[in-house]
Structure 1
């Protein structure tokens, strides 16, 4: 088939290679004998070889290699490198526990439920109960994938069939940061980002001056400019080793590389600031692409990766705003993305990565691993689990929590904080917020249970109830039988006879409304008027009105309903009905009308 065939699309089959295709094996057994190797290639493009020769208990290797292949292979449930590494670590830890026993099992049939419980107890020595339960659950999933399940012991089969072996264990999520903590973290990250930007700008400026007018520089600047020119060409730091001890060479190379390239220690503040500005997951930030499009200088469009959404919804296109004001370059996600793109452009050209992130990492072991690119590498290309040393970075900046202790810095907590702050800005109305998740996911995984969210929500609810109660009390100040005795006898007689009736109350002075002049408002607004008087004879109609309002709630959006009828509902239920006895309300319920003129609920205007 020609390589120029049509592209796949709706109604068109995808092009396939000609000839016979055989999928590469996930598990490989060496022909000369020895332990198996499991080859993993994830959906994120990252690969890993798991070699069982590194583990003890060789007689168990083949069965567990088959189980691992089933879990991390194309049909398995662990399809990213990080998830596959978790499965491998479960096997490694389990084998280590078994090796330490006086009589470790030599065959798959000899593994018992007691061995799993010993593994559980060993996990409890180094981690929390919830984490230990999760690790046991991962082990049980591997055991269920072992070939030849009929060979397993009856006690282990029964144990695996029991519920609640960590299946429901959920990690206790750390809360978001308080406003003070978040502001301190972002301020420290911003200072470092500015320092990185200015450092590279100074190096670029010296390089440009050397290229255009080297004679205008002094001797020291010319020498440094020549080194920068060579470094920009080949990517390798050019260091003057004269006068340096051998042990000082790596640091000298590092300092020289920092003049033109982003280095490893820069990743912490850059990632922290990106998380606080965008509110995205750390995995999504680590996979930011270099490819993007700037739209009329006002926004940058790029495709983000979020694998937790599943295969069919892994990629999503976003538009991040770009500030036109250079002074606000660090104030928007789009402007910051473009800054990162520019800062790492030289390194990206040398490393060849398609990722936004590219650094010089050519010291020590990195000099050998990345020799072909002069030490430049996409730091998250091979794996996402590169250590950022966030704790050390926070300690250097003296960041503390609200209690004065060392701040535990996590990118996931930064995202959680942004979700909470965004929800607060929208007054807690999640459907109207531009979130990185659905409203349900945002609530379940970020807002619910967070102490700062709970405290804020309690304050908002208290204020809302207080405001509603105050408004209701003011509106119903003259409502109820207690006030009827204070009225002039003629007015009271007219009210009791029904001559002053509106829809659900009596109007004591229709010629002098609160707005001035004769009242022309809807009858539904009477209960919020100081001229309203409710007597026992009005109770049946009030109860019918409550039924009508309830029926309207079933048909209308809750927020729209609250805006229209919330005050009326509060006045009736909290400040009118409690003034009557149970017997009065029961008698009214038996005589309430079957229906009301529902057009009044929409607020028609009454004419004099």
Structure 2
């Protein structure tokens, strides 16, 4: 085949075909150590190797290698390297568990119902981990060519019904927290831009007018000009040589420590998730110098919906840090030299201190950190950046407890650094966009009247009448709320007879309660709310992204941003342990409309 990569076929263009004697390489083969190895070639262009020979119980290796190769092969459901790596972990835990038993089922034919049940009920793993492991093993050993190699009683044990995955929803930031985070990311990014542009100006002067450089900067200018030409950073001296090299490289190149504020600001400006930002391409198209067109990778949307072309506003000169297009072009400017030296098509290319990869002092210290593995983002440590900068980014102080109210000598609340994650940023900017557009997300096309995104009244401190009265509710309302007399499907309604917009009895769907000022939520409602989020999450996998946002996006944003963020992690964790009935979506949707 002479053409490679996506886009090599299209309408009116004949498909590239292999030669007549072509044979596809075997996905399972013998590795250098003599054990079986499974090769993975992902649709995201990344490759990996999984060494089955390093697992315990050699009698299981042929079956496991065949099963995993089918799971990750062309007909399997895993299309990315990160997905394959995540599914490899349950397989490792399965073999480690079997190897710990006495006696061991050394071959698949010896597997019994007892072994499967014991793995599912083991006590050394969290409930969520056990559930995910069992769900993956059901798929792995349920494949047509694999299931007949497992004894019948073990297959029956694997066939148990598992409850839907319990998610751990992350609420978003308050308006103040998001503003402080944005200001900090913008300030630090501006500092990075000034630093690199100053270094570039010194290189330009060294090349064009060296006689005009001040004497105290002449040596630095010569070193930077050499670095700009070769990409090689001179070695440092003494015990601080690594710090010296980092500081010297930072004059011209983006470094790993620059990524947290820059990527946080990208997430805020572009309203995209972390995975998409890590795969930002350098290739783009300018539209009359007013906007930039970029083709993004969109994961989790099915095999045929991996890409989306977006158009980002550039804005006026000097406002690059405030617009998605301006920030994207600024990123390309900051990474241009490293990208040229490493030859990557990625927008995110940085310089690293290469002593750990035996590339010290060479141009191989320039690389695209997320090109081979998106999991490199685990080292970004956004929260550490926010907490350790000169002026830390702080979270809102917690609301005073009932006991502390009215006590003059109560201890002041401790200022806590803000916990920064891409998920919380995405949730927050979704909520902000919803408010700015009067209740509509950009992809939403709701046909009913515009909804104003009210903030529901959330009372996280307790559910007794006294606690509810202390939160500002009238005694009668507090009594009815505490005894469940005001409950609807997932929350409670403080005044069903008077809608905030119309003043008339409410006729809206229960899903719109979260956008209503009459909505009341206490800790007792948490289990039902979490069940609703779980159901919406499963529907998101079955529906198109546009249709899902149209029908459920406002609810999802309101619950995650305005409700869950008011409860502590301990309260959410406790609610997740409670068994709840079905999410009751059939109460708010006609049967023929249910996805």
TM-score (normalised: structure 2): 0.68
Q: Say which SS state the counterpart of residue 322 (structure 2) adopts.
A: coil
Q: For residues 286 and 494 of structure 2, what CA distance do their matches in structure 1 show?
A: 40
Q: Say which SS state the counterpart of residue 194 (structure 2) adopts.
A: helix
Q: For residues 42 and 26 of structure 1, what CA distance do their matches in structure 2 show?
A: 12
Q: For residues 299 and 101 of structure 1, what CA distance do their matches in structure 2 show?
A: 62
Contact 2:170 2:424 in 1 (8 A): yes
Equivalent of 2:201, from 193, 199, 205? 205
Contact 1:367 1:375 in 2 (8 A): no
The aligned residue for residue 538 of structure 2 is: none
Cα offsets for 1:495-514 (capped at 9, x unmatched): xxxxxxxxxxxxxxxxxxxx
The aligned residue for residue 438 of structure 2 is: 427
Cα offsets for 1:227-256 (capped at 9, x unmatched): 111111111212452xx23xx222221111
Cα offsets for 1:396-435 (capped at 9, x unmatched): 143343335443321022111111111122222x3xx324
The aligned residue for residue 175 of structure 1 is: 171
The aligned residue for residue 423 of structure 2 is: 412
The aligned residue for residue 57 of structure 2 is: 57
Number of residue equivalences = 447
Cα offsets for 1:173-209 (capped at 9, x unmatched): 2112221221122122112111111111111122122
1:144 CA drift (Å): 2.2
Q: For residues 434 and 287 of structure 2, what CA distance do their matches in structure 1 show?
A: 28
Q: For residues 46 and 121 of structure 1, what CA distance do their matches in structure 2 show?
A: 35
Q: For residues 281 and 395 of structure 2, what CA distance do their matches in structure 1 show?
A: 34
The aligned residue for residue 484 of structure 1 is: none
Contact 2:497 2:505 in 1 (8 A): no
1:153 CA drift (Å): 2.8
Equivalent of 1:401, from 395, 405, 418? 395
The aligned residue for residue 90 of structure 2 is: 90
1:293 CA drift (Å): 1.1
Q: For residues 233 and 87 of structure 2, what CA distance do their matches in structure 1 show?
A: 40
Q: For residues 350 and 60 of structure 1, what CA distance do their matches in structure 2 show?
A: 46
Q: Relative to structure 2, which stretch is displaced further, 354-363 or 400-409? A: 400-409
Q: Say which SS state the counterpart of residue 284 (structure 1) adopts.
A: helix
Q: For residues 313 and 460 of structure 1, what CA distance do their matches in structure 2 show?
A: 43
The aligned residue for residue 235 of structure 1 is: 231
Q: For residues 288 and 413 of structure 1, what CA distance do their matches in structure 2 show?
A: 20
1:135 CA drift (Å): 2.9
Q: For residues 493 and 437 of structure 2, what CA distance do their matches in structure 1 show?
A: 15
1:92 CA drift (Å): 1.6
Q: Relative to structure 2, which stretch is displaced further, 175-184 or 223-232? A: 175-184
Q: Relative contact order (C-alpha < 8 Å, sep 6+): which is higher?
A: 2
1:218 CA drift (Å): 3.8
1:14 CA drift (Å): 1.8
Q: Say which SS state the counterpart of residue 309 (structure 2) adopts.
A: strand
Equivalent of 2:308, from 316, 331, 345? 316
The aligned residue for residue 488 of structure 1 is: none
Distance 1:105 1:348, change over 3 A: same
Distance 1:307 1:2, change over 3 A: closer
The aligned residue for residue 366 of structure 1 is: 357
Contact 2:232 2:362 in 1 (8 A): no
The aligned residue for residue 543 of structure 1 is: none
Contact 2:29 2:36 in 1 (8 A): yes
Distance 1:232 1:413, change over 3 A: same
Contact 1:254 1:363 in 2 (8 A): no
Equivalent of 1:272, from 249, 255, 264? 264
Residue 110 of structure 2 corresponds to residue 102 of structure 1: no
1:71 CA drift (Å): 0.7
Q: Relative to structure 2, which stretch is displaced further, 462-471 or 198-207? A: 462-471
Q: Say which SS state the counterpart of residue 364 (structure 1) adopts.
A: helix
Contact 2:38 2:65 in 1 (8 A): yes
Q: Say which SS state the counterpart of residue 355 (structure 1) adopts.
A: coil
The aligned residue for residue 493 of structure 1 is: none
Equivalent of 2:158, from 135, 157, 160? 160
1:383 CA drift (Å): 0.8
The aligned residue for residue 337 of structure 2 is: 346
Task: Provide the alpha-carbon RMSD of the alignment.
Answer: 3.5
Q: Say which SS state the counterpart of residue 313 (structure 1) adopts.
A: coil
Q: For residues 87 and 75 of structure 2, what CA distance do their matches in structure 1 show?
A: 15
Cα offsets for 1:109-132 (capped at 9, x unmatched): 22334334443445x6454x3343
Q: For residues 410 and 299 of structure 1, what CA distance do their matches in structure 2 show?
A: 28
Distance 1:300 1:102, change over 3 A: same
Cα offsets for 1:551-578 (capped at 9, x unmatched): xxxxxxxxxxxxxxxxxxxxxxxxxxxx
The aligned residue for residue 376 of structure 1 is: 366
1:12 CA drift (Å): 5.1
1:220 CA drift (Å): 3.5
The aligned residue for residue 135 of structure 1 is: 133
Q: For residues 434 and 47 of structure 1, what CA distance do their matches in structure 2 show?
A: 35
Q: Say which SS state the counterpart of residue 409 (structure 1) adopts.
A: coil
The aligned residue for residue 355 of structure 1 is: 346
The aligned residue for residue 76 of structure 2 is: 76
Structure 2 gaps, min length 5? 399-414, 448-453, 460-490, 507-595
The aligned residue for residue 571 of structure 2 is: none
Distance 1:2 1:337, change over 3 A: closer
Q: Say which SS state the counterpart of residue 49 (structure 1) adopts.
A: strand
Q: For residues 357 and 461 of structure 1, what CA distance do their matches in structure 2 show?
A: 52
Distance 1:118 1:274, change over 3 A: farther
Distance 1:26 1:434, change over 3 A: same
1:553-568 alignment runs, 5 A limit: none
1:373 CA drift (Å): 3.7
1:102 CA drift (Å): 3.0
Contact 1:57 1:99 in 2 (8 A): yes
TM-score (normalised: structure 1): 0.67
Q: Say which SS state the counterpart of residue 268 (structure 2) adopts.
A: helix
The aligned residue for residue 14 of structure 1 is: 15
Distance 1:449 1:200, change over 3 A: farther
1:451 CA drift (Å): 7.6
Q: For residues 203 and 229 of structure 2, what CA distance do their matches in structure 1 show?
A: 11
The aligned residue for residue 302 of structure 1 is: 294
The aligned residue for residue 221 of structure 1 is: 217
Q: For residues 373 and 307 of structure 1, what CA distance do their matches in structure 2 show?
A: 32
1:460 CA drift (Å): 13
1:395 CA drift (Å): 2.2
Structure 1 gaps, min length 5? 441-446, 473-608
